[in-house]
């Protein structure tokens, strides 16, 4: 019995697709992914209705499925992130049911725990053999790690691998084993490489961004954590990459031999690995081609599952071993609660991803962001949506200075001793409001369009409807 | 909360050990393993009773636990192989309950399917970090693959890793992830390296063995299977290794580019990989240091789980992709049923291991054995224990010629066309009996001491009590 199936539609039929099922997708192809839209197109052609999408993240490239939300093919979405028009569509109430946001660590926990039951997992695989041994490291659509797809493959009732690079059996360097795969479909293209690995921005040249980055790196230097065995995570934004650049200089100068970097991996972190700043990279997602190539070649660069990255119910996870992490925010409030779900209009533009996971796990959680963006202050009385609880945030760094969460008095003392510009968060808030004025309260609809769950399963916040004019 | 625990006893207590539980063990340390005996010693000291051991295999080195079978600490054994005094003890009825033999592929299937519920898995790990990311590739007790331990780690309620080489977090090249591990115990030594990787015999110099090996290799050559993409498994016995040596010569001469070798891996198969005969080695178990080093260094040499090796309920497994396999036998009968469980006295001396799995999966299953051993004929009317059903065996090769299972007429024709010495199995049997006489029927006890299950879960045979005089 061959697993090779002529089309996604045939594979869905063979997998027993029917109304009301949950189908899952991973986001390693990011804004280049073609597989989710292909699959939803097939669902519509089959006349299937009332599907829940469990997608680790959704991007602008997925906007064509909004029509399937409007016609009742897709009535529920569970995700860690909804960017571009996908977020706006959820905010506009285009789903019949509330969307559910989980963090990247909470999602595999609920898959393993049975709270998310995946009927059919669809895995976009840059390379696969005919039995479904598959990898993201090879092929013209290479994306690197398949870490987010691993729990889906392990726990879904049926697993469909979709590839544009079918190779002879066995694919030796598989990331997901054949034992978990039911069907293999070959298509012309699973995605656009420009969208798959384009997300790394260059290190910022903006002096504001560089100052924030320098402050963030200096706060790590003086935190007491920067010693041999140090572990670190940062994102792919221009300022956080600049912080990594400054941190590299500090680590080389002070001859600090770090342990590991984690998370979405960029070429900048690869450079820190190769420079000897760190022993290893633990990689749940690659952000650029340098990271993909490093994962392929460097034994110190290891692919890990979303479970191992950050699941709160795993017997342990890497997030809990982190020393320092630098994260972003669209808003932060005076209790240090962070919003990364909604924009200044209250419209969904992202989601936690691993934000709340690593904030909870790291010894030092730094939020690095400019004090004013688009003429609006970063700091508010109460964030429009709590993505990450303030109790897990240690430090806010802006170009006008840094504010320490009063829960971490030791850190405040260390930073003050180092003569870093520590100020009260309310002072920073006042300064921002002096410069840009106090923002008008947002007017939101009554209808709840999304629940934001915390990684322990509790309801962290709810997002209400907001239709763009 | 640290997973590091002071002793195996403490870890067992923390894991909630109590009477009647099932504890599991893997056999990659083979006849050098110290961890199983250590654990049973701890169980006895704790006064725990009525334990079922689910061990992938048992060896002479485990004989000290016979005392724990006699005193009721251990009342049940489920295994794939029981060698030396361990087999004899089961045969002698020292267990209160029947032992259960499963193949190496059936065991993970029943673990995943819930028919074997492991309360506590004890994993002997040649290297581990403090969170239990562990590997068999490194350390002074390196054993290579940990493939048989993978399903245990995945499905057991509690997992204890026992190591004699604790390294800093994270162990990047882990085989079992921290997400599955509850406790980590460091001991002075998990085993004796001479017993761990000593099982490879040298290629036989015995002319009888060499003739059998040549016939086996020639039968593959003329089977129609030896072409590009060919896949192969063989054991570690002297004659089967000699067959691999002849096969290598044939493949190099005919420029056949094979696909993969599977199974327990020896330096001889590593040599075939490095010579270009095969693209890859799929490794569930290493038999010698050359294999361990190759697994560590050669990207074409891949560690796989017992599930992927041979589980009949996995969505696919490697055994089902095999072209040819050469296996041994203690007895074979005229219906081609094979016994690898009991010796000529009817005493348990081994078990299926993967024998019945790969026999079922391979296109060509060859049994290679001398026609007479210890003055007893190989071929009998009915084997004392059916380990592998004759319906899955294609060919018997002896030094006096080869017999083809009548179910495979195409093979018989091919081998006859190649002028190979094909004879009826009854002729071979008669020849053996002419040389050594017809053996006396065995006198066995009434009590059933072991069930032998087939990989589909059915009862294949039962082994009755046999006390040695």
Q: What is the ipTM of this complex?
A: 0.96
Nearest to B172 among A173, A182, A280 (CB): A280
CA-based radius of gyration for chain B: 22
| Tens-place pLDDT, residues B406-433 | 999 999 999 999 999 999 999 999 999 9
How far B178 CA lies from chain A's nearest CA (Å)?
6
Phi, psi of B427 (to 5 degrees): -65, -45
The two tokens of residue B88 are 């004899």
Q: Cβ–Cβ of B321/A173 closer than 8 Å?
A: no
Nearest to A179 among B259, B315, B321 (CB): B315
Contacts B179 to A, Cβ<8 Å: 305, 307-308, 311, 314-317
Q: Do residue B173 and residue A229 have CB atoms under 8 angstroms apart? A: no
CA distances to A38, A204, A387, B24 from A97, in Å: 23, 40, 20, 45
Contacts of B229 in chain A (CB under 8 A): 168
Same domain, A381 and A357: yes
Q: Are B109 and B314 in contact (CB under 8 A)?
A: yes
Q: What pLDDT is recorded for position A263?
A: 83
Beta strand pairing status for A379-380 and A364-368?
Answer: unpaired
On whether any CB of chain A is under 8 Å from the CB of B259, the answer is yes
Q: Contact B182/A315, CB-based, under 8 Å? A: yes
Chain A, 284 to 313: residues with Cβ < 8 Å from chain B are 299-300, 302, 304-305, 307-308, 311
Q: Among B169, B179, B316, select the one facing A321 at the smallest CB separation.
A: B169
3-state secondary structure of B74: strand
Q: Which tokens hold the place of A29?
A: 């192809």
**Cα gap A25→A127, rounded to integer Å:** 16
Last residue of a domain, one of B162, B193, B224: B193
Of B169, B259, B308, the CB nearest to A177: B308
A172 and B316 within 8 Å at the Cβ level: the answer is no
In a domain, A433, yes or no: yes
Beta bridge partners of A372: A377
A316 located within any domain: yes
Interface touch B170/A229, C-beta < 8 Å:
no
pLDDT at A467: 77
Interchain contact, B304 vs A259, CB within 8 Å = no
Peptide bond before B392: cis, by omega within 30 degrees of 0? no
User: Best of B130, B178, B361 to disrupt the A interface by mutation (most A CBs within 10 Å)?
Assistant: B178
CATH number at residue B290: 3.40.1080.10
Question: In A, which residues are within 8 Å of B357 by CB distance?
Answer: none
Decide if pLDDT at B340 tops 70: yes
> Is the CB of A314 less than 8 angstroms away from the CB of B178?
yes
CA dist., res. B239 & res. A24, Å (int)? 50
Q: Assess whether A411 and A369 both reside in one domain.
A: yes
Same domain as A242, residue A320: yes
Q: Which of B181, B229, B307 sits opposite A179 (nearest CB)?
A: B307
Asked whether the beta carbons of residue B179 and residue A229 sit closer than 8 angstroms, the reply is no
Q: Please report whether residue B202 resides in a domain.
A: no
Beta bridge partners of A282: A262, A302
Domain's final residue, options A193, A218, A233:
A193
- Count of Cβ atoms closer than 10 Å to residue B47 Cβ: 8
User: Do residues A291 and A408 share a domain?
Assistant: yes
How far from A37 is each of A43, A68, A102, CA to CA, in Å? 10, 10, 22
Distance from CA of B272 to the nearest CA of A (A): 16
Q: How many residue pairs from chains A and B have C-beta atoms closer than 8 A? A: 97
* Mutation to test the A interface, candidates B121, B315, B319, B320, most A Cβ within 10 Å: B315
Instruction: Check B178 against A300: CB less than 8 A apart.
Output: no
- Domain check: are B183 and B229 in the same one? no
Residue A94: inside a domain: no
CB-based contact A25:A111 (threshold 8 Å): no
pLDDT value, residue A224: 97
Q: Are residues B33 and B115 in the same domain?
A: yes
Rounded Cα–Cα distance for residues B408 and B362 (Å): 13
Same domain, B365 and B420: yes
Angstrom distance (rounded) from CA B19 to CA B50: 6
Half-sphere exposure of B388 (CA within 13 A, CB side): 31
Residues B206-210: contacts with CB within 8 Å, 24+ apart? Answer: B206/B238, B208/B370, B208/B399, B209/B238, B209/B239, B209/B242, B209/B370, B210/B239, B210/B242
Scanning every residue of chain A, which has its alpha carbon at the shortest distance from the alpha carbon of B262?
A170
* Residue A303 φ/ψ, nearest 5 degrees: -75, 135
φ and ψ at residue B267, rounded to 5 degrees:
-60, -30
Helix residue spans in B284-404 (DSSP H):
289-297, 306-310, 355-361
The per-residue pLDDT for B469 is: 58
**Whole-angstrom distance, CA of residue B145 vs CA of residue B283:** 6
B/e letters for B269-299, b = 16+ CB within 10 Å, e = fewer, are bbebbeeebbbbbbbbbbbbbbbbbbbbeee
pLDDT at A199: 58
pLDDT tops 80 at residue B200: no
From first to last of the 469 residues of chain A, give the pLDDT tens digit: 799 999 999 999 999 999 999 999 999 999 999 999 999 999 999 999 999 999 999 999 999 999 999 999 999 999 999 999 999 999 999 999 999 999 999 999 999 999 999 999 999 999 999 999 999 999 999 999 999 999 999 999 999 999 999 999 999 999 999 999 999 999 999 999 888 876 556 778 899 999 999 999 999 999 999 999 999 999 777 788 899 999 999 999 999 999 999 988 999 999 999 999 999 999 999 999 999 999 999 999 999 999 999 999 999 999 999 999 999 999 999 999 999 999 999 999 999 999 999 999 999 999 999 999 988 999 999 999 999 999 999 999 999 999 999 999 999 999 999 999 999 999 999 999 999 999 888 999 999 999 999 999 999 999 999 977 5
Residue A31 lies in a domain: yes
CB interface of B with A, residues 141-180, below 8 Å: 159, 168-170, 172-173, 177-180
Within an 8 Å CB–CB cutoff, is residue B64 touching chain A? no
Contact state of A314 with B282 under an 8 Å Cβ cutoff:
no
Alpha-helix residue ranges (DSSP H) falling in A55-204: 66-70, 84-91, 106-113, 150-155, 193-196
Q: How far is A305 from chain B (nearest CA, A)?
A: 9
Per the rule left: phi > 0, alpha: psi between -120 and 50, beta: everything else, B171 is beta
Chain B residues within 8 A of A173 when measuring between CB atoms: 299, 302
Residues in chain A within 8 Å Cβ distance of B307: 177, 179
Q: Please give, rounded to a whole number of angstroms, the shortest distance from the CA of B406 to a CA of chain A.
A: 25
DSSP percent split of chain B into helix, strand, coil, nearest 5:
35, 25, 45
The answer as to whether B400 is a domain residue is yes
With the CA atoms of B229, B233, B238 and B244 taken in that order, what torsion angle do they form, in degrees rounded to the nearest 10?
0
- Contact assignment for A316 to B159 by CB distance below 8 Å: no
Q: In what order do the strands lie in the sheet with A331-333?
A: A338-339, A331-333, A379-380
| Domain-ending residue, one of A193, A217, A244 | A193
Say if CB A4 and CB A168 are below 8 A apart: no
Q: What does the alpha-carbon distance between residue B382 and residue B339 come to, in Å, rounded to a whole number?
A: 10
Residues 6+ apart with CB under 8 A from A205: none
Interchain contact A282–B (C-beta under 8 A): yes
pLDDT of residue B122: 98
What range defines the domain where residue A16 resides?
Answer: 4-56+104-193
Instruction: Answer yes or no: do B172 and A259 touch at CB < 8 A.
Output: no
Contacts of B419 (CB under 8 A, 6+ apart): none
Q: Are B196 and B141 in contact (CB under 8 A)?
A: yes
Please tell me the distance from the alpha carbon of residue B469 to that of residue B462, in angstroms, as a whole number. Answer: 22
Percentage above 70 pLDDT, chain B:
99
Do both B154 and B247 map to the same domain?
Answer: no
Question: Residue B197 has what pLDDT?
Answer: 76
Rg of chain A's alpha carbons, rounded to an integer? 22
The residues that bridge with B403 in the sheet, in sequence order, are B396
H-state helical runs in B260-354: 267-274, 289-297, 306-310
Give chain A's domain count.
Answer: 2
Q: B363 to each of A195, A386, A390, B248, B358, how far by Cα in Å?
A: 44, 60, 62, 19, 9
Residues B173 and B38 in one domain: yes
Of B179, B259, B279, the CB nearest to A317: B179
Nearest CA among A136, A223, A187 for reference residue A402: A223
**Model confidence pLDDT, tens digit, residues B56-108:** 999 999 999 999 999 999 999 999 999 999 999 999 999 999 999 999 999 99
Whether A280 and B170 lie within 8 Å, measured CB to CB:
yes
Within-domain flag for A467 = no
Q: Is B61 left (phi over 0), alpha (psi -120 to 50) or beta?
A: alpha
* Structure confidence by residue, pLDDT tens digits, B310-328: 999 999 999 999 999 999 9
* Strand residue runs (E) in A42-157: 51-55, 74-79, 99-101, 120-125, 127-128, 134-135
Describe the crossing of helices A289-297 and A267-274 by its angle, rounded to 10 degrees: 40
In a domain, B223, yes or no: yes
Contact between chains at B131 and A321 (C-beta distance less than 8 A): yes
Q: Quick one: A216 and A331 in the same domain?
A: yes
How far apart CA B59 and CA B65 sit, in angstroms, is 11
Q: Are residues A330 and A297 in the same domain?
A: yes
Mutate to test the interface with A, among B170, B227, B303 (most CBs of A within 10 A): B170
Amino acid A469: pLDDT: 58
Q: Are residues B351 and B285 in the same domain?
A: yes
């Amino acid at each position: 019995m061959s697993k090779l199936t002529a089309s996604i539609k045939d594979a869905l039929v063979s997998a027993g697709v029917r109304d009301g099922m949950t189908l899952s997708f991973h986001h390693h192809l990011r804004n280049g992914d073609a597989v989710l839209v292909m699959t939803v197109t097939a669902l519509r052609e089959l006349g299937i209705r009332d599907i829940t999408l469990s997608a680790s993240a959704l991007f602008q490239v997925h906007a064509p499925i909004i029509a399937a939300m409007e016609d009742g093919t897709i009535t529920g979405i569970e995700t860690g992130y909804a960017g571009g028009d996908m977020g706006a569509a959820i905010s506009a109430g285009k789903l019949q049911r509330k969307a559910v946001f989980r963090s990247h660590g909470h999602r595999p926990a609920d898959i393993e725990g049975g709270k998310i039951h995946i009927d059919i997992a669809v895995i976009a695989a840059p390379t696969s053999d005919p039995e479904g041994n598959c990898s993201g490291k090879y092929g013209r659509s290479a994306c690197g790690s398949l870490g987010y797809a691993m729990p889906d493959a392990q726990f879904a009732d049926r697993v469909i691998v979709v590839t544009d690079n079918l190779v002879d059996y066995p694919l030796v360097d598989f990331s997901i084993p054949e034992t978990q795969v039911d069907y293999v479909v070959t298509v012309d293209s699973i995605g656009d490489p420009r969208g798959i690995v384009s997300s790394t921005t260059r290190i910022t040249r903006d002096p504001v961004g560089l100052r924030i980055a320098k402050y963030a790196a200096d706060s790590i230097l003086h935190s007491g954590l920067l010693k041999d065995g140090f572990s670190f995570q940062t994102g792919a934004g221009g300022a956080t990459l600049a912080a990594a650049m400054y941190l590299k200089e500090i680590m080389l100068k002070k001859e600090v031999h770090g342990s590991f970097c984690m998370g979405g991996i960029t070429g900048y972190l690869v450079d820190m690995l190769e420079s000897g700043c760190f022993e290893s990279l633990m990689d749940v997602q690659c952000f650029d081609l340098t990271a993909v190539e490093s994962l392929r070649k460097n034994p110190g660069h290891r692919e890990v599952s979303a479970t191992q990255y950050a699941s709160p119910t795993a017997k342990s996870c890497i997030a809990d071993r982190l020393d320092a992490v630098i994260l972003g925010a669209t808003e932060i409030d005076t209790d240090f609660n962070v919003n990364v779900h909604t924009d200044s209009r209250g419209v969904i533009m992202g989601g936690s991803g691993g934000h709340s996971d690593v904030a909870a796990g790291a010894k030092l959680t730094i939020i690095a962001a400019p004090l004013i963006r688009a003429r609006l202050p970063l700091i508010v009385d109460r964030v429009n949506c709590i993505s990450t609880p303030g109790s897990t945030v240690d430090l806010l760094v802006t170009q006008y200075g840094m504010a320490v969460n009063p829960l971490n008095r030791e850190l405040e003392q260390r930073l003050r001793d180092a003569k870093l510009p520590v100020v009260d968060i309310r002072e920073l808030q006042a300064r921002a409001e002096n410069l840009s004025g106090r923002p008008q309260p947002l007017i939101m609809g009554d209808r709840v369009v999304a629940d934001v769950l915390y990684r322990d399963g509790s309801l962290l916040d709810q997002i209400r409807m907001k239709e763009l004019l």
